Amino acid sequence: MDWNSATATDIARSIASGSLTARDVIGETITRLDRLEPGLHSFLSVRNHDDLVREAEAIDRAGTKAGPLAGLPIAVKDNICTVDLPTSCGSRILEGYRSPYDATVVERIRAAGGILIGKANLDEFGMGSSTENSAFGPTRNPWDEKRVPGGSSGGSAAAVSAGQAILALGSDTGGSIRQPAAYSGLVGLKPTYGAVSRYGLVAFASSLDQIGPLGRTVADTALLYDVISGYDPRDSTSVPGSRPATARSLDRTDLKGIKIGIPEEYFTDGLDPEIERAVRLGIEALVDAGAETVSISIPHTRFAISAYYLVADSEASANLARYDGVRYGYRDSQADDLDSMYCSTRQIGFGTEVKRRILIGTYALSSGYYDAWYLQAMKVRGLIAIDFERAFEKCDFLVTPTTPTAAFLLGEKSDDPLAMYLSDIYTISANLAGLPALSVPCGLTGNGLPIGIQFMGKPWNEPVLFAAGRHLEKRLAPIGCPGEESTS
């Protein structure tokens, strides 16, 4: 088996048939971790190798009873709680913190036989689009180590792209799964808000955050999504009700009768011509599969970035108030009194981008400005949701670019926060409206960097998005993998 391009479904099938053992898989994973991690820095912590081997051997002994993820090595973003590894959120203020419980998604992965490899690097508290904001150093893109893997789930994306894990969990507040997926040649899903439990996800912006899967193929991503999705009474935002397994709907014979909306606001100035050409070819492939195209307008898209950063930063200001050096995490022990301890702990413990967003959010929520800024942003958020509702009266899902450009160079946008924020211009609206959105590879740029195409659907329409993504995979030439030479 070619480990550079092996898929989760291939490996799971081989383990189930006995042609491969979980011990073989974990052995190769450990080898790749040891060889590639110094260059990529995909992980902030990795489990003890002996423990991984013992877990794999136990799965081999369990045989067919081990579950649908039996023996698959999985990376988990380091803002998702785990008992056996630290949960730092990429921040000095939580350095070394260990959760007393597993997140619901982690419990479900373990119950399904998945092997948690380690905790993946991220922009601090999920605030960034490049994984350069991690307090513990940036992650590099396996396709070109001089470039970013995207963010904030950049470590998760790099790990899967480089074969250090076969699947990964990320979190998506404004594009933090889909943008890294596009930059790293992967499939990534931001589920419908409420489809996947947030219990054990460290909050950034509670009304926007969602946990979701990353994989090399649509089938891989659907496999992990089916395991982690479903109602959880411990999460007050989790939506009750059973839904069909997405993996079973992948091999729909064609897309006849499906109407895909092409929103005009997503194909304007600022979109790289190479990205637009690749996305247009992807649309043609969907038409070849039987779909029809419909021109759509999402008129309030121009306000999405502004509304998002007011809503997200306001919620971040409230959520991050708990990190004060009193109950857990970093504390400045040199402070003379309580007030100075609060101030210096947060000054030292938080990075520049996190402090910037806390200040913006605190200002937006302050007396005299709440109505003018936060409340106004929430009204715009409602208008964007209405735009999508009207669009879906004319089509089944929307097709857009995932990102305006391919992966940019490390440091290229570090001194220009606005340019960094605009990296998520095509992904933010799905979070504001609570919609499912899927990024799928659709080609390479002239210099060999992956390009992603995005499908946005009605709430709970993940099966349709996965089926469309699967058709696209079948009709477009595979982009391949980063290759050994680019990750050595």
Residue 56 has pLDDT above 80, yes or no: yes
Q: In the chain, what percentage of residues exceed pLDDT 90?
A: 90
Lowest mean pLDDT among 162-166, 222-226, 252-256, 452-456: 252-256
pLDDT at res. 244? 73
Lowest mean pLDDT among 103-117, 199-213, 251-265, 443-457: 251-265
Domain assignments of the chain as residue spans, ordered by start: 8-256+465-487
Q: What does each C-alpha distance from 479 to 360, 448, 450 come to in angstroms? A: 40, 9, 7
**pLDDT tier at 7 (50, 70, 90 boundaries)?**
very high
What SS3 string covers the chain?
A: CCCCCCCHHHHHHHHHHCCCCHHHHHHHHHHHHHHHHHHHCCEEEECCHHHHHHHHHHHHHHHHHHCCCCCCEEEEECCECCCCCCCCCCCHHHCCCCCCCCCHHHHHHHHCCCEEEEEECCCHHHCCCCCCCCCCCCCCECCECCECCCCCCHHHHHHHHCCCCCEEEEEECCCCCHHHHHHHCCEEEECCCCCECCCCECCCCCCCCEEEEEECCHHHHHHHHHHHECCCCCCCCCCCCCCCCHHHHCCCCCCCCCEEEEEHHHCCCCCCHHHHHHHHHHHHHHHHCCCEEEEECCHHHHHHHHHHHHHHHHHHHHHHHHCCCCCCCCCCCCCCCHHHHHHHHHHHHCCHHHHHHHHHHHHHHCCCCCHHHHHHHHHHHHHHHHHHHHHCCCCCEEEEECCCCCCCECCCCCCCHHHHHHHHCCCHHHHHHCCCEEEEEEEECCCCCEEEEEEEECCCCHHHHHHHHHHHHHHCCCCCCCCHHHHC
Catalytic residue of the set 45, 77, 171, 458: 77
CB 429 within 8 A of CB 172: no
Is 152 noted as a catalytic residue in this protein? yes
Lowest mean pLDDT among 138-147, 285-294, 308-317, 319-328: 319-328
Look up residue 63 and give its two tokens: 């045989």
pLDDT tens-digit series, residues 372-398: 999 999 999 999 999 999 999 999 999
Residue 488 has pLDDT above 60, yes or no: no
CB 375 within 8 A of CB 382: no
pTM equals 0.96
pLDDT at res. 254? 85
CB 190 within 8 A of CB 472: no
Catalytic residue of the set 42, 88, 134, 152: 152
pLDDT at res. 487? 35
Is 429 noted as a catalytic residue in this protein? no
CB 147 within 8 A of CB 403: no
Fold of 8-256+465-487: Amidase signature (AS) enzymes (3.90.1300)
Residue 280 has pLDDT above 70, yes or no: yes
Q: What is the mean pLDDT of the chain?
A: 95
pLDDT tens-digit series, residues 425-471: 999 999 999 999 999 999 999 999 999 999 999 999 999 999 999 99
Catalytic residue of the set 156, 176, 229, 414: 176
Q: How many Å from the N-terminal Cα to the C-terminal Cα in the chain?
A: 20
User: Strand pairing of 73-77 and 115-120?
Assistant: parallel
Which of the two residues, 259 and 335, has the higher pLDDT score? 259
pLDDT at res. 477? 87
**Burial group, residue 336, by CB count within 10 angstroms (0-12, 13-18, 19+):** exposed
Residue from 344, 282, 305, 343 nearest 468 by CA: 282
Residue 328 has pLDDT above 70, yes or no: yes
pLDDT at res. 65? 79
What one-letter code names the amino acid at 146? K
pLDDT at res. 198? 98
Angle between helices 462-475 and 273-288 (to 10 degrees): 100
What one-letter code names the amino acid at 416? D
**pLDDT tier at 483 (50, 70, 90 boundaries)?**
low
Is 242 noted as a catalytic residue in this protein? no
